[in-house]
Amino acid sequence: MPLTERPTDMDGLRAVIETASARPGWTPPAAFGIGIATRAADGTVLDTWFGSVNLGQNLGSAALLGAALEVDGTTGTHALSRDVLAQLTEVFDPALADDGEHANARLVAVLATANPEAPLLPVERTPVVTFISDLTAAPVDAHDVYLRLHLLSHRLVVPHGVNLDGAFGLLANVVWTNHGPCDVPSFAMARARLRARGVTVNVTSVDKFPRMTDYVVPTGVRVADADRVRLGAHLAEGTTVMHEGFVNFNAGTLGNAMVEGRISAGVVVAAESDLGGGASIMGTLSGGGKEVISVGEGCLIGANAGIGISLGDGCVVEAGLYVTGGTVVSLPDGTTTKARELSGRPGLLFRRNSLTGAVEVLPRQGEWGALNADLHKN
């Protein structure tokens, strides 16, 4: 084990970090996380919770982890044995003794001293560290995907800030319960055994993605129904997601926003915008294909309305109107065009003429469609 020195003060710890960082073959990762992985009996990774997430920071901790495990910093996940955790805790001792945050050191100490109870479900839980050397490359396994989803929900990256190509194929379909995740084939008998013991198992969903709030609770947000926000959602400070609001992974808000409708995968909503009840924004997993749909600042999409085009700043879509790229709209000069030609333009009002049924687009004027400032006081 390379970590043979036991520093007694912060200067000594810095010296150990310097040695570990200069180790031949060591390459600092672009991101790394320390957490606990859950595996089914057949080895399938069901989830990985990262209690500490790092993006281009705390690379001294990464170097110590790499040295203790005798690995480089390239993409991969490594189990943290009790021996490794104990040795790392001794090395981190000076950091643990001072008043600094030192999130990685403190999490290592927690994992080293934990005495977890046996899981009620037929799974195995293992402390791990995951390194990602290149966030622009596609993820390689489920641990990799989970770390990227954590980066999004911790707001360390914005939607589309990391490569998630192929993520669906790397994740297992999981039974999410109040006792943690379980693989689908094992669940029926596992529930029978627990029921026989008088233990109730509540299933919240059967899906590849868990609830965000079971892994990350960002500051400065309100989430009325946690079931409707997936891990990998990016909720900026000041965002409110009401009971019927939904935010998918790799999607979300960039500032104060009121979400009473659906933000589909890949969609980005800017600050001071409202998505009314029942409204929907077409995502990259549906008819939107590869096009990234975005909503500018100060926009209002009315109740039960929807868009399949991007909105520039200060746009309004009236309640009940769905505007897709192929929707034919009438312009103020009497000509018509397809809505995709207006995608991303600011200051537009989309409405349906109640007499003719034609979809019209006009310059937004006055207070029509003005936002309720009280809704953005998070």
Where are the domains positioned within the chain? Answer: 10-165, 212-376
Q: Which of 1-5, 179-183, 301-305, 372-376 has the lowest mean pLDDT?
A: 372-376
Q: Which two tokens stand for residue 40?
A: 């089914």
Give the residue from 376, 153, 158 showing the smallest Cα distance to 274: 376
187-242, pLDDT tens digit by residue? 999 999 999 999 999 999 999 999 999 999 999 999 999 999 999 999 999 999 99
DSSP state of 42: T
264-312, pLDDT tens digit by residue? 999 999 999 999 999 999 876 554 456 789 999 999 999 999 999 999 9
Alpha carbons 234 and 249: distance in angstroms, whole number: 8
For domain 10-165, is the CATH number 3.40.50.300? no
Q: Is 90 a catalytic residue?
A: no
> 3-state DSSP call for residue 105?
helix
Under a CB-based contact definition with an 8 Å cutoff, are residues 140 and 75 in contact? yes
Alpha carbons 185 and 52: distance in angstroms, whole number: 31
* Multiple choice CATH, 212-376, 3.40.50.11930, 3.40.50.2300, 3.30.565.10, 2.160.10.10: 2.160.10.10
List the catalytic residue out of 5, 70, 124, 260.
260
